[in-house]
């Protein structure tokens, strides 16, 4: 995971515990989870919109021919 070993992860968790405290930590993690969930939803929605636009784009064969000026 990002090139981190078990020791580095434990140190990071301890620093987070010292900064936020045991009572505040669940709220911080809950907010982080909600943020990640919203980010995933937004990226999947954007990807879906792009795929939909590409699928609906007209191809060269289905484009109508431009009108000719044969009114003389």
Confidence of residue 24 (pLDDT cuts 50, 70, 90): confident
Distance, in Å, from the CA atom of 28 to the CA atom of 32, rounded to the nearest integer, reads 6
For residue 33, tell me if it sits in a domain: yes
Which uninterrupted H or E stretch holds 8? helix 6-56
Please report, rounded to a whole number, the percentage of residues in the chain having pLDDT higher than 90: 31
Q: Give the model confidence (pLDDT) of 42-55 as tens digits.
A: 999 999 999 998 88
Look at residues 32, 22, 36 and name the one whose alpha carbon lies nearest to residue 13: 22
Domain span at residue 36? 24-54
For residue 42, tell me if it sits in a domain: yes
Name the domain count of the chain. Answer: 1
């Amino acid at each position: 995971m990002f090139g981190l070993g078990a020791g580095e992860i434990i140190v990071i968790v301890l620093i987070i515990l010292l900064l936020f405290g045991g009572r505040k930590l669940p709220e911080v993690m809950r907010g982080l989870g909600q943020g990640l969930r919203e980010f995933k939803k937004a990226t999947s929605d954007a990807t879906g919109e792009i795929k939909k636009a590409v699928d609906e784009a007209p191809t060269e064969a289905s484009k109508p021919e431009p009108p000719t000026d044969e009114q003389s």
